[in-house]
Amino acid sequence: MIVRVLTGLGLIIAFLAALLLDIKTEFSLPALLLGNFLIAVAAYEFYVMARAGGSAPMTVLGTVAAVAAFNLPWLLPDADAPAAAPGMIAALITAGFVGLAIRKSRPNALNDLAVTLLGALYVGLMGGYLVQAHVLAGGRLVFYIVAVAKMADIGGYLTGKFLGRHKLAPGISPNKTIEGSLGGLALSIAVAVGFAFVLLPLETTLAWQILFAVVVNAASQFGDLAESMIKRSCEVKDSAVFLPKVCGALDLIDSVLISAPVGYYLYFAAKAAQVST
């Protein structure tokens, strides 16, 4: 467990360091490359888990689609990537049916297609909101969202390890505790308030910063539970493929996948409200 935590923490620090380089020099390539690596590996891990659960997703198609969805804001720099997402989804559905047509017939073909689509959208499209956040407000906003979201994991782990007594969702993730959840929330609030004046290009109130932390933290914790539900459904304990029992990319970013669009739209709404006034 210690090796797993340190490895995950090291990857997060590396990503945040790449974002700091982006903030200081506007050189975003290292952060983008590391983000693409994590998305590609996480998507592949998702499909490996799905296969362990009895599905037969189109792994190559899904992984490529996940990476394309993640990069959609870069691929369409002059367009609104969220508005272009339906077109990408339509293309993915079409490609999925083509893939089904040329592969051997399976009785669960509809399930295979659904799992393929889910993996690409869950990992790629949701994670792509970090790229969209960069397009909206630069590396500072991405750093802010990731830092607040990951504090839910770090604070939850530390508080739960030493103070955890009451189970949060024993049917989904038996190791999570209410005390850990509250500890993660406290740390998210501290980071959101402490970093706001440094990282947010938009002037915000203390109440908004706390609201941001609470909502993003809740999304982060739910994101972790969501992946736990997938693992239980597939009867898999660990998503890691390349480093079994050490660190899985999907385990590392599951909380960010749900909190990234939440953080993006919270900031987008605040910016829109400020412009309108």
Give CA–CA dist 183/188, Å, rounded: 9
- Amino acid identity for residue 82 in this structure: P
144, 212, 214: which is closest to 181 by C-alpha? 214
Give CA–CA dist 133/262, Å, rounded: 11
Any alpha helices (H) in the chain, and if so which ranges?
2-25, 29-52, 59-70, 72-75, 81-102, 109-119, 126-137, 139-163, 178-199, 206-234, 249-276
Instruction: Tell me what pLDDT residue 88 has.
Output: 84
SS3 172: coil
Instruction: Tell me what pLDDT residue 6 has.
Output: 64
Place of tokens 């339509």: 90
Lowest mean pLDDT among 43-57, 74-88, 115-129, 260-274: 74-88
Give CA–CA dist 130/186, Å, rounded: 23
Mean pLDDT to the nearest integer, 150-172: 81
Q: Phi-psi region for residue 76, left (φ > 0), alpha (ψ -120 to 50) or beta?
A: beta
Place of tokens 């490895």: 7
> What are the pLDDT digits (tens) for 210-254?
999 999 999 999 999 999 899 989 988 777 776 666 678 899 899
CA atoms in the 13 A half-sphere facing the CB of 168: 22
Residue 153, pLDDT > 90, answer no
Residue 274, pLDDT > 80, answer no
Q: Which residue has the higher pLDDT, 163 or 143?
A: 143
Instruction: Tell me what pLDDT residue 8 has.
Output: 63
Mean pLDDT to the nearest integer, 48-64: 94
Q: Counting Cβ atoms within 10 Å, is residue 10 exposed (0-12), middle (13-18) or buried (19+)?
A: exposed
Give CA–CA dist 185/218, Å, rounded: 8
Q: What is the pTM of this model?
A: 0.90
Instruction: Tell me what pLDDT residue 77 has.
Output: 62
Mean pLDDT to the nearest integer, 184-204: 89
